[in-house]
Amino acid sequence: MSPSTPASHPEGTAGGSTTSRRRRRGPRTWLAALPLLAFTGLCFGIPLGAIAFGAVTRTDPSSGATRLTGEHLSRSLQGPYLDSLIGSVQLSALTALIGGVLGVLIAQAVVTSRSQALRSAALTASGVLANFGGVPLAFAFIATVGISGVVTQLADLTGFGWNLYSFTGLTVVYLYFLIPLMVLVIAPALDGLRPQWREAAQNNGATGRQFWRHVGLPVLAPSLLGGFVLLFGTAFAAHATAAALVGGSVPLVTLKIADALSGNVLTGQENVALALGLDMILIAGLVMAVYLPLQRRSARWLR
């Protein structure tokens, strides 16, 4: 039972209940985490390795020899592929910016309202709508503001130059799941903005604008930036919505990868898809590298 027992007999067989648990706990708990680590290593690590390997190598079809090359990566940063990368980044940045601002406004309206019913309804709805991406969303918008959509015909939107199957159209559709996502992310941060701070600022003679400029925004800044980055990453990775909606009329990197994979390009370009995939992972990795520390930082004030 002494503390030294487990250390001196780490392989001891089961004895008294307490000592046996102490003895077994170390190796046993380690084993319980093993399946997860093995699974991610196998099902996530191997495809990831295949992307990295395929993106920088070229296999000669006749001789079967594999050699290192940078041509796939450089080709993925040229011509139509570069356009698609830029298009994706532009669309993601624009939607993340608009979605972030609107999401904060809605979240603030919900959080400051004293109605508990409105609050829980809005948060639940955000939870559902943030997941309502992909194919069903695209079809809902086609039915609403597509060429023969209900609202298009009622309000004669085509007359105003409206086109759902365009960059603008895609922006409007993306906002449908990005705004609720921002509401979900930012609502706890706005909740953490204590009324006492505002009252303290008021008692010191600060105007509403001064309060936001010197207290509110600095406290919220990490959460706001973190939310923006998360929205950017989500919009950047989205493929199903765009695929069901625009097909190929808007250059997006996800659509280009899908094209390359399903063989709609010249043969031998599969590796360009891998290189594009690697580009995406690098950009998304950069985004997450910004997001995670920000999230930690925002947790400091808002608890």
Residues 149-178 that bind other proteins (CB under 8 A): 149-151, 175-176
Q: Which residues in 253-272 contact other proteins (CB under 8 A)? A: 254, 257-258, 261-262, 270
Judged by CB, which is closer to other proteins: 67, or 303? 303
Asked if 47 touches other proteins (CB under 8 A), the answer is yes
By CB under 8 A, name the one of 15, 16, 136, 293 that touches other proteins: 136
Restricting to residues 209-238, name those near other proteins by CB under 8 A. Answer: 233, 236-237
Nearest distance, CB of residue 25 and other proteins, angstroms: 4
Q: Which stretch binds other proteins (CB under 8 A): 6-14, 73-81, 163-171, 188-196?
A: 188-196
- Kindly state whether residue 128 participates in binding other proteins, applying the rule CB under 8 A: yes
Task: Please return the burial class of 82, using the count of CB atoms within 10 Å of its CB with bins 0-12, 13-18 and 19+.
Answer: middle
Contact pick of 6, 12, 188, 248 for other proteins (by CB under 8 A): 188
Question: Closer CB to other proteins, residue 33 or residue 266?
Answer: 33
Which residue, 100 or 180, has its beta carbon nearer to other proteins? 180
Residue with the two structure tokens 């532009």: 90
Smallest distance from other proteins to CB 14, Å: 12
Task: Please answer whether residues 245 and 141 qualify as being in contact, where contact means their C-beta atoms are separated by less than 8 angstroms.
Answer: yes
Strand partners, 57: 68
DSSP string for residues in 8-47: H-TTPPP-SHHHHHHHHHHHHHHHHHHHHHHHIIIIIIHH
Among 164, 185, 201, 294, binds other proteins (CB under 8 A): 185
Judged by beta carbon, residue 21 or residue 214, the one nearer other proteins is 21
Q: How far is the CB of 284 from other proteins (least distance, A)?
A: 5
If DSSP codes are grouped into helix, strand and coil, which group holds residue 58?
strand
**Touching other proteins, residues 74-113 (CB under 8 A):** 102, 105-106, 108-110, 112-113
In angstroms, give the least distance from the CB of 113 to other proteins: 6
Q: Where are the alpha helices (DSSP H) in the chain?
A: 4-8, 17-39, 46-56, 71-76, 79-112, 116-130, 134-145, 150-155, 167-192, 195-203, 208-211, 217-237, 240-245, 253-261, 270-301
Contacts 24+ apart (CB under 8 A), 58-67: 58/271
- Residue 67 is classified by DSSP as E
Asked if residue 1 binds other proteins (CB under 8 A), the reply is no
**Residue that has been written with the tokens 């918008």 in this structure:** 141
Q: What is the DSSP string of 211-251?
A: HIIIIIHHHHHHHHHHHHHHHHHHHHH--HHHHHHTTTSS-
Inter-residue contact 91 to 171 (CB < 8 Å): yes
In the shown chain, the binding pattern of residues 51 to 70 toward other proteins, with x for contact by CB under 8 A and - for none, equals x--x----------------
Q: How many CB atoms lie within 10 A of CB 177?
A: 23
Q: Pick the closer one to other proteins by CB: 110 or 220.
A: 110
The binder of other proteins chosen from 9, 28, 213, 214 (CB under 8 A): 28
Tokens (6 digits) for 298: 């925002």
Amino acid, single-letter form, for residue 205: G
Give me the least distance between CB of 64 and other proteins, in Å please.
10
> Which position among 244, 249, 265, 301 is part of the footprint of other proteins (CB under 8 A)?
244
